[in-house]
């Protein structure tokens, strides 16, 4: 079983930065992928970024490429999402997710079996 807990959300002005953390417990495999998704009111949950636990391959949505950075800490069992140059359209609930035995990094939410409770990020203009 995998448990995920996000933290670090909040209110920030446009152009500012936030760092989200996702602490997880449970066994990882060579194919484990940790991802970040977000969901704005009235919209579907969308892929933001993901990192493969072994080898650290990453993938980003075009909308955040160059602004967000995903990373991991093996010792702390934590995945981070550093969000820079934030825009009002980044406002959403951000979720951490785990695809425990992935053949590749998936961008579809349904491929991830484990989810955190979400953390709110609000960017004011």
* Tokens representing residue 36 in the block: 């970040």
Residue 48, phi then psi, degrees to nearest 5: -115, -55
Using one digit for the tens of pLDDT, what is the confidence trace for 60-94?
A: 999 999 999 999 998 999 999 999 999 999 999 99
DSSP 90: G
Percent of the chain with pLDDT over 90: 86
> 85 vs 28, which has greater pLDDT?
85
Whether residue 28 has pLDDT greater than 90: no
What confidence tens digit (pLDDT) does each residue in 5-14 have? 999 999 999 9
- Contact of 34 with 50, CB cutoff 8 Å: yes
**How confident is the model at residue 27, as a pLDDT?**
85
CA distances from 109 to 18, 39, 66, 96, 123 (A): 23, 11, 22, 11, 24
Distance CA 118, CA 38 (A): 9
Q: Distance between CA 11 and CA 101 in Å, rounded?
A: 34
Q: How far apart are the first and last CA of the chain?
A: 40
């Amino acid at each position: 079983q995998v448990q995920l807990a996000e933290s670090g959300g909040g209110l920030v002005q446009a152009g500012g930065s936030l760092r989200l953390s996702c602490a997880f417990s449970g066994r990882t495999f060579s194919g484990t992928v940790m991802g970040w998704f977000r969901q704005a009111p009235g919209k579907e949950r969308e892929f933001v970024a993901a990192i493969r636990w072994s080898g650290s391959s990453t993938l980003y949505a075009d909308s955040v490429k160059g602004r967000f950075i995903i990373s991991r800490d093996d010792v702390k069992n934590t995945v981070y999402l550093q969000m820079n140059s934030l825009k009002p359209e980044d406002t959403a609930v951000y979720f951490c997710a785990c695809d425990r035995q992935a053949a590749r990094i998936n961008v579809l939410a349904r491929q991830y079996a484990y989810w955190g409770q979400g953390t709110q990020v609000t960017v004011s203009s």
